[in-house]
């Protein structure tokens, strides 16, 4: 059962996710357990995961945000073992490096960045770029056959793969798509054992599904029409924005920690 602090924090983060989702990421809590979140990561263009759709889960402890979540990716990706916990700096493998200022958006942005790297860790696998592209091409058809994906994201269970609300449109100079509307049995509803969270804003339905991408192809038409140089610039710009986001979160966490230490020293004197 979630503590009041965890429930309040995760409720706010769900609203924040709807208002300003990170690039290539979408996530929502389970309707029966706010500590259990499902996420979708879309493969960025100019990466071996381009055109891929990766479903996974974040398993938050009742003590969140003071303890980190467990993280799994369920969709075969060629990067992580399906349904196995992933070890990286923001997961429950490293509670000592966890920063309570980090959020769902920060965690998933960090996971995507780690996914694009070649670093090996617990829960990862080694494959070639060609194999990753094959997994990306098969990912959506695999997802829509899975019960957990159907229950978590019914609005994404379409024959053609849908974009998540933020496909890094700002970096590419295009307009962002609206976030998908939550189903009637959305995770934003109140579990019986917890107080009512802040109401999530009403969001308009997402755009019509795009045509499915071929293996190794970019995820949408806008990317497909760009020149290789422009696409590379967009990918570099997006990577820089991700690094800046992680740096800002870390910097503020350090400031808060120092303030706490100074406060305790003053009290002891």
CA distances for 66 relative to 60, 63, 91, angstroms: 10, 6, 12
| CATH 3.10.110.10 holds for 4-177+203-268 | yes
How many residues can be counted in the chain? Answer: 269
- Active site (annotated) includes residue 157: no
Is the pTM above the cut of 0.85?
no
For the chain, what are the domain ranges? 4-177+203-268
- Rounded to an integer, what distance in angstroms lies between the CA atom of residue 254 and that of residue 258? 6
pLDDT digits (tens, 9 = 90+) for 9-41: 999 999 999 999 999 999 999 999 999 999 999
**Catalytic residue (one of 3, 36, 81, 87):** 87
End-to-end, the C-alpha distance of the chain in Å comes to 39
pLDDT digits (tens, 9 = 90+) for 125-150: 999 999 999 999 999 999 999 999 99
């Amino acid at each position: 059962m979630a503590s009041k602090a965890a429930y309040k924090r995760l409720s706010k983060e769900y609203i924040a996710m709807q208002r300003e989702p990170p690039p290539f990421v979408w996530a929502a809590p389970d309707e029966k357990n706010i500590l259990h979140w499902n996420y979708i990561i879309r493969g960025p263009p100019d990466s071996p995961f381009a055109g891929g759709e990766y479903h996974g889960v974040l398993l938050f402890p009742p003590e969140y945000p003071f303890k980190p979540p467990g993280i799994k990716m369920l969709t075969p990706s060629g990067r992580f073992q399906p349904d196995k916990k992933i070890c990286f700096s923001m997961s429950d493998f490293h509670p000592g490096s966890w920063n309570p200022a980090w959020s769902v958006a920060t965690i998933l942005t960090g996971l995507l960045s780690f996914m694009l790297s070649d670093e090996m860790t617990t829960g990862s696998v080694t494959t070639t770029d060609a194999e990753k592209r094959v997994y990306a091409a098969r990912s959506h058809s695999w997802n829509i056959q899975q019960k957990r994906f159907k229950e978590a994201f019914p609005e994404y269970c379409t024959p053609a793969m849908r974009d998540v609300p933020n496909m890094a449109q700002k970096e590419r100079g295009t307009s962002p798509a609206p976030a998908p509307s939550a189903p009637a049995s959305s995770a934003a509803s109140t579990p019986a054992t917890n107080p009512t969270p802040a109401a999530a804003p009403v969001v308009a339905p997402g755009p019509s599904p795009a045509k499915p991408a071929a293996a190794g192809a970019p995820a949408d038409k806008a990317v497909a029409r760009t020149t290789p140089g422009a696409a590379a610039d967009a990918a570099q710009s997006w990577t820089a924005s991700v690094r800046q986001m992680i740096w800002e979160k870390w910097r503020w966490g350090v400031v808060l920690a120092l303030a706490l230490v100074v406060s305790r020293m003053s009290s002891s004197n």
